Structure 1
C-alpha cells in the first residue's frame, strides 16, 4: 500500500502517490541545478511547473485520480531529461526547434505583445503561418466591403480567443514543443530583450526627470487615467449585459412566435406565409436569426460579465468555437435565403384587357368605384392586402391596390384598358400569377362602375398584385366622376385635375387638358372653357337634365 500526497503544482491541486512524488521532486531539483546559471531562473522554473501541471491535468480521469509513476514518466518523456540539456550548446537548442517529430500542433492565442489592439490578427498570423499584415488587410476589407462584419468578427475572435500569457502558451501559439529547452530559451530571449532596453536607457535624462519630480507626476496621472478607464469598463460592462440579455429575450420570444404558427393557428400566420417567397419553413427563419444575431450578443454579454469580473471562468474553447461555427453557418444560410427571396420577385408580368364604351357624343359618362360589402363596410377602407373568406368559405387575398389614370385618345369612342400586374421569379411565373387576379368592371349604358379591390387565391401568395385602370377619353367627351375616385385617381394633374369639394362637377375633354365646367374660380385655374363668359363677375351654372343634356345658365 502506497501513501498519497496532496500537492499544489502550478496553481492546480493533485493527489500523487509517494513514489511518484519523490521522482517528480528529484526531477525538479535536477532542473533547478541545470538552470542555476540561467537568466530569469525563477521565471523558467515557474513556467516549467505550469507546463508539468497542464500535462498532469490532461491525465486526470476524475477528481479522485491519483498520479502514479507511469504518469510522471510520460510527463518527463515530453519535457525532456535535465541532464541531457546543456545551456551553452546553442546548436542543440537550435536542433530542438527544427525537430519536426517533436513539434506540437499550433493552438490559437492572442499575441498582445506584438499586436496593435487585442492581438487577434497577430495570433491568427502565428496560427496560419502568414504575416499579420494580411490578416489586418482582410479585416479592413470586411469592415468597408462587408457592411461592418469585420468589426463584429474581430470582437467575437477577441472574446473567444485566449491571450498567450505564459511561456508555454506562447510556445504553443507558434507550434514549438513545450519542453525544458524551449521554455528556457524563450524566457532567456525575453529577459535579454528587457535587459537590452534597460541598457539603452538614457540614465542622465531620466535621472533629471526623477530629480525634478516629473516621473512621480506622470505616475499619478497614469493612475488617474487607469481609474477612469476601470470605471468606464464597469459601466460598459453593465450596458453590454443589459443590452445582450434584452436582445436574447426578444429573440427567444420571436422564435417562439414564429415556431408556434406551425402548431397553433395564430392571427399572423397567414401574413408571415404570404411574405415567405422561399420553400423554407417559417420556424427556420426564427432559428437562423436567433443564431445570427443571438450568438454575437451572447458573446457581448460574456464580455460585459468579464469587464465586471475579470476572474470569471471562461466557457471553454469547445463551446466558443462551436458557437462561432454555428454563427458562420447561420449567416451563410441567411444570405442564400435573402438571394432567393429577391429572385422570387425579380420580374414583373402583366395581362391587358381592353373594353370599348359605346357612348353617344351628347351623353355624359358617369364614373365611380364600388366596394363589396361582404369584405368591408366602407369604400374608404384601404388595405394593402388582407386575408378574407368568400361566401363558400374559400380563403382569399384581398387588396385595394387599384389605381385609375385618365388619358386622351384620338379614337372616336372612349375605351378602358385594365392591366393586372404581379411579380415572380421569371416573366412567365409573374404573368401566370397576374392572370389569376380576380377583378371586374361593369358598363351600364353611360355608367362605368369599377371595383375598388382585387382578389386572388392564397396559394398565389402576395407578390405585389396590382390593377391599373387606364380610361381613354376622346376630345369633347363629357364625364362626371364620383367622389369615390379620390383615393384611386393617379392622373397627371396637368391633364386632369379632379376636384373633391362637390360631387356635381362636370368635366369636358379638350385637346391639351380636361376642364371643369362648373367649378368655382378659386378651385379651377382653367375656368375659361366657355368663350361666352364675358364678365369676370358673372358665374356659369352647369346642370344635366334627365336626357343627359347640358343646361348652362349665367
Structure 2
C-alpha cells in the first residue's frame, strides 16, 4: 500500500503516490543540474514544469486518478533524459525538426511576437504551414467581397484563439517537439537575442534619452503612428493588388472575346462592327484598349506589392520606360481613332421622294401602319436597329425608326413625302447612304398602308438611318387613324391632336387645324379653332366679372383674385379656367 501526496506542478494540483513523487523529484533535480550553466535557468524550468503538467493531465482518467510510476516514466520518455540534452556553449546544438514539420503536433495559437495586429494570420500560417501573407489577403478579400465578413472572422479568431505565451506553446505552435532540449534551446535563443541588444546598445545615447524624457515619449508616439501607417499601407497595398489583378484578368478575357473573332463569334460583335465607323479591325482596337488600360493597372499592381513587401526589387528603368512608351502610343492611337469615329457622323444626308395618294373626294381615308410578318409578327414591336436576314437570305439592318406627320396642303391632291435620312463623313456619302434605305407603302382602295420598318444593307452599316413620313392632305379631307398610328405619330399637337381613346374617331382637315368630328366634348377642348383665351387682371383681391361675346353668344365668368385665365370655345362654352 503506497502513500499518496498532493503536489503543485505548473499551477495544477495532482494526486501522486510516494514512489512516483520521488522519481519525479529526482528527474527535476537532474534537469536543474544539467541547466546549471544555462542562461535563463528559471524560465526553462518553468516551461518544463508546465509541459510535464500538461502531459500528466492527459494521463488523468478521472478526478480521483493517482499518478503512478508508469505515468511518470511515460512522461520522462516523452521529455527525454537530462544527460542526453546537455548543451554546451561551444558545441553544436542538437538537431530539431524543421520549422514546418510534424504538422500533426501543431496547435493553433496567435503569434503576437511576429504578428502585425493580433497575430491571427501569423498563427494560422504556422498551423497550416504557409506564409501568413496569404491569410491576410484572404481576410481582405472577405472584407471587400464578403460584405465585411472578413473583419468579423478576424475578431472571432482573435477572441477564440489563445496567444502563445510560454516557450512550450511557442514550440507547439510551430510543430517542434516540446522536450527539454527544445525548451532550453528556445529560451537560450531568446536570452541571447536580448543580450545581443544590450551589448550593442549605445549607453551614452540611452543616458541622453533618459535626460530628455519628453523627446523619448514623442519618439515613441511617432513610432506608434508610423506603425499604424505601416499597417494601413499594407491593407491599402492588398486592396490595390486585388483590384488591379482582377481588372487585368478581366481585360485579358475581354481581349479574346470583344477584341477577337478568331476564338469566339457572337451576335453582339455585329453590333460593334456596325458602329465601328473607322473600319479599324476589332482586335486592333481591343489590343490598344488593353494596353492603354492594362499598363496603368500593371503599375498599380507593382505599387500594391511594394506596399506589402518593403524589400521588393524594382523592375528596372528600361522596362518602365518601354511600357510608358507603349502606353503613350496606344493612347495616341485611340485618340486618333476617336476623332475619326466622330467625323464619320458629322453630316446628315437626305433623300426625298413624293408619292400621290389617289382617293375619291367623298371617301374617308383610313391610315394604318403594318408590319412584315417575316421580320415581326407584332406591329407594335419596336427596334432601334437589329441584324437579321430578309426572305432572300441577305443580311440586312432592320429598324422601326419611322416617324409620321400629318400636314395641310393647298394642292387639290393628297400626297406622301418620304424623307430617308442617314449620316456620313460628308454630305455626298450621307446622301448616298440615305438613298440606299428601303422603305415602302401601299394604297389599297381608301386605305393607306404604311410599313412600320425600314431596311438597310449591311455594307452601309448603321449610321442612324431613319425615315420621316409627311402626309399632306387638302382642306376638307376626312380620315380615320388606326390605333397603330399612335406608335409613330409625331405631328404637331396644335394642328393634329390624335385621340388615343379610340381608333374609330373621324377627323376633318380644316384651314388652321384638324378637327375631330365625333370625339367627346371633354377630349375635344384643344381642337376648337375659334377658342379664345382671355386674361383677367385687377389690382386687388376683389371679385371681377368678365363678360365676352363669342360668335354672337355672351359668356360671363366671375373670377376672384388678381390674375387668371379664361378659355372659351366657339360655342360660347367655358372649357378652361385658371
| Alignment TM class, shorter chain as reference | 0.5 to 0.7
Rounded to whole Å, the distance in 2 between the matches of 1:477 and 1:513 is: 12
Report if aligned partners of 1:521, 1:527 keep a CA contact under 8 Å in 2: no
Instruction: Within 5 Å, give how 1:108-119 maps onto structure 2.
Output: none
Rounded to whole Å, the distance in 2 between the matches of 1:406 and 1:222 is: 80
Q: How far has the Cα of 1:468 moved from its partner?
A: 0.7
Q: How far has the Cα of 1:223 moved from its partner?
A: 3.4
Rounded to whole Å, the distance in 1 between the matches of 2:491 and 2:212 is: 85
Report if aligned partners of 1:516, 1:526 keep a CA contact under 8 Å in 2: no
Report if aligned partners of 1:347, 1:430 keep a CA contact under 8 Å in 2: yes
1:382 is matched with 382
2:409 is matched with 409
Higher relative CO (CA 8 A, sep ≥ 6), structure 1 or 2?
1
Q: Does 1:350 align with 2:350?
A: yes
Name the SS for the 1:522 alignment partner.
helix
Name the SS for the 2:519 alignment partner.
coil
2:373 is matched with 373
CA deviations 1:429-480 (Å, max 9, x no partner) are 1111111111001123332111111111111111111111111223222211
Q: Does 1:525 align with 2:525?
A: yes
2:438 is matched with 438
Q: How far has the Cα of 1:527 moved from its partner?
A: 5.8
1:508 is matched with 508
2:456 is matched with 456
Aligned length: 329
Report if aligned partners of 1:517, 1:527 keep a CA contact under 8 Å in 2: no
1:499 is matched with 499
Please report the RMSD computed on the Cα atoms of aligned residues, expressed in angstroms: 2.7
Q: Does 1:393 align with 2:408?
A: no
Report if aligned partners of 1:515, 1:526 keep a CA contact under 8 Å in 2: no
CA pair 527-354 structure 1, distance change in 2 beyond 3 A: closer
Q: How far has the Cα of 1:340 moved from its partner?
A: 1.2
Rounded to whole Å, the distance in 1 between the matches of 2:505 and 2:221 is: 82
CA pair 536-279 structure 1, distance change in 2 beyond 3 A: closer
Report if aligned partners of 2:257, 2:263 keep a CA contact under 8 Å in 1: no
Report if aligned partners of 1:240, 1:304 keep a CA contact under 8 Å in 2: yes
Report if aligned partners of 2:350, 2:421 keep a CA contact under 8 Å in 1: yes
Q: How far has the Cα of 1:533 moved from its partner?
A: 10
Rounded to whole Å, the distance in 1 between the matches of 2:570 and 2:511 is: 20
2:537 is matched with none
Q: How far has the Cα of 1:535 moved from its partner?
A: 10
CA pair 351-527 structure 1, distance change in 2 beyond 3 A: closer
Q: Does 1:235 align with 2:232?
A: no
Name the SS for the 2:523 alignment partner.
coil
CA pair 510-216 structure 1, distance change in 2 beyond 3 A: farther
Rounded to whole Å, the distance in 2 between the matches of 1:305 and 1:265 is: 37
CA deviations 1:518-542 (Å, max 9, x no partner) are 22233332365799997989xxxxx
1:290 is matched with 290
CA pair 373-219 structure 1, distance change in 2 beyond 3 A: same
Instruction: Within 5 Å, give how 1:41-440 maps onto structure 2.
Output: 215-216=215-216, 218-262=218-262, 264-440=264-440
Report if aligned partners of 1:424, 1:430 keep a CA contact under 8 Å in 2: yes
Name the SS for the 1:367 alignment partner.
strand
Rounded to whole Å, the distance in 2 between the matches of 1:211 and 1:477 is: 109
Q: Which runs of 5+ in 1 are unaligned?
A: 1-209, 538-554
CA pair 294-224 structure 1, distance change in 2 beyond 3 A: same
CA deviations 1:231-260 (Å, max 9, x no partner) are 332222122112211211111121111344
2:103 is matched with none
Report if aligned partners of 2:356, 2:413 keep a CA contact under 8 Å in 1: yes
Higher mean alpha-carbon deviation, 405-414 vs 250-259, is at: 405-414
Report if aligned partners of 2:497, 2:527 keep a CA contact under 8 Å in 1: no
Report if aligned partners of 2:415, 2:472 keep a CA contact under 8 Å in 1: yes
Runs (4+) of structure 1 exceeding 6 A deviation are 210-213, 529-537
1:181 is matched with none
CA deviations 1:364-407 (Å, max 9, x no partner) are 22111110000111112111111111222111111111111122
Rounded to whole Å, the distance in 2 between the matches of 1:223 and 1:506 is: 89
Rounded to whole Å, the distance in 1 between the matches of 2:218 and 2:514 is: 84
TM-score normalised according to structure 1 size: 0.55
Rounded to whole Å, the distance in 2 between the matches of 1:497 and 1:534 is: 20
Report if aligned partners of 1:397, 1:457 keep a CA contact under 8 Å in 2: yes
Name the SS for the 1:483 alignment partner.
coil
Rounded to whole Å, the distance in 2 between the matches of 1:215 and 1:511 is: 97
Report if aligned partners of 2:256, 2:263 keep a CA contact under 8 Å in 1: no
1:98 is matched with none
